Amino acid sequence: MRRYDVAIVGREKDICLVTKHFYDLEVRRKNFLDSSFQPPVCFAPYFYGSGKTVFVKTFLDLAKGLDDDILGKHIVSDTSTGPFSAVSKKSFLSKTKEAKLLYVSLSNLKPMLPEERSFKWALYYLFLKTAFLEMGLPEPEPLALFQELNLRTEVFVEKIRSVLGISPDRYLLFSFDEVGFLTLLVDTFSLRDTSHYQLAIYHDFFRIIRELCVQPCLFFMVAGRCQGVSIKYSVASIVELRLIPLSPLEQKSIKEHLEKSSLNTVSISCILCSKRFLKVQFASLLFEYTGGVPGILVHLIGELLDCALENPHFLLTTKKFLSIVSRRDIAIRCVFPGVKRFRNLNQERESWMATLIACALFHIRFETCESNREHTDSAATPMLDVVTDIIGLYHRFPI
């Protein structure tokens, strides 16, 4: 697949919604900081291709591209009482656009000396190590850092701000990705709550996030494939998880993507479109055959770019587009990153049922994940055919 400079489009509603959730956290932090404090935390627990990683990485850049008037219209606090004058919308938006974002992949989480069973210490060390590396500094020595912090939240916040070189009153946004990897660590750490065994680690994770939400000028987004709905309700007494929709792109957004994305500074629409194959026509076909799922869309465009650049006389038409997307090798490459993720899921029947349904929603033919058949028992096999039929309801020629 040919990689190209991908323009992020169609996320204005998501940006406004996340900004509103951050504002609500600031209001609650200033007005209702007591034992009942329940901070709102932005949450994107979706499958491969939704654009969640790109969104949490680039949120601040995207927010800076929107006018304050657009963002301000969506900032209406959900809290009915309290001295709201303490949180100026104008000041809040200004500070949000000047914030610092720290992206942390939880797939890198592992036990750390000297407290290898401490989940909180493992998280603190990962956050700080990420900050050190982002600033071009060597990884910190665990023992010395542990002795300095002694797992004190206030000291941790002061330390990470010091490493990043930002003042105490500057907003700091933590973007946590790959939260689903926490499930693999349930047996690794000593957890406080074991009443819901598989979800216990999420209880502890969001308790730590809640402690950090008490500190001024900190905000959080959490993303990654996981049992989103179960986690949301399981931790409802700790934090209020608010879903970031990240809906599939509409046809007009796909057209904008073609115009603004580029390869070697040349617009994708200039490379793949022509007088005989217009941008609107191309966007319509891409929408039909990818469902607007960003990950699959980008992979398919990359495959089409490969075809175009390998043949100097290549001219894309509707007929040629259909012949390309019907190729099995193209289909497999477009969805393979998602299929690869499926192999890491819990392989109990309930999890596989969720996987099959997810495949249907993402229009993935089961021929593309043939190797997974060996993990299903004979009683579950008919589901493969049922869901393949469901896919047909979405597209006549699904990827």
- pLDDT tens, position by position, 262-273: 999 999 999 999
Nearest to 174 by CA among 128, 136, 140, 239: 128
- C-alpha separations of 340 from 47, 51, 120, 369 in Å: 12, 17, 30, 9
Provide the CA 285 distance to its chain's centre, in angstroms.
26
Over residues 56-61, the mean pLDDT reads 96
Rounded-to-integer distance, Cα 260 and Cα 219, Å: 30
- pLDDT tens, position by position, 38-58: 999 999 987 778 899 999 999
Nearest to 41 by CA among 247, 239, 204, 244: 239
The pLDDT of residue 334 is above 90: no
Lowest mean pLDDT among 65-74, 118-127, 161-170: 65-74
In 244-351, DSSP assigns E strands to: 262-263, 266-267
Q: Give the pairing of strands 266-267 and 262-263.
A: antiparallel
- Note the residue count of the chain: 399
The pLDDT of residue 347 is above 70: no
What residues does each domain of the chain span? 12-243, 251-325, 334-394
Lowest mean pLDDT among 146-150, 304-308, 354-358: 354-358
| Core vs surface per residue 348-369: b (16+ CB within 10 A) or e | eeeebeebbebbbebbbbbebb
Nearest to 106 by CA among 239, 224, 218: 224
Q: Return the pLDDT at 341.
A: 53
The pLDDT of residue 138 is above 90: yes
Of 252-256, 287-291, 360-364, give the range with the top mean pLDDT.
252-256
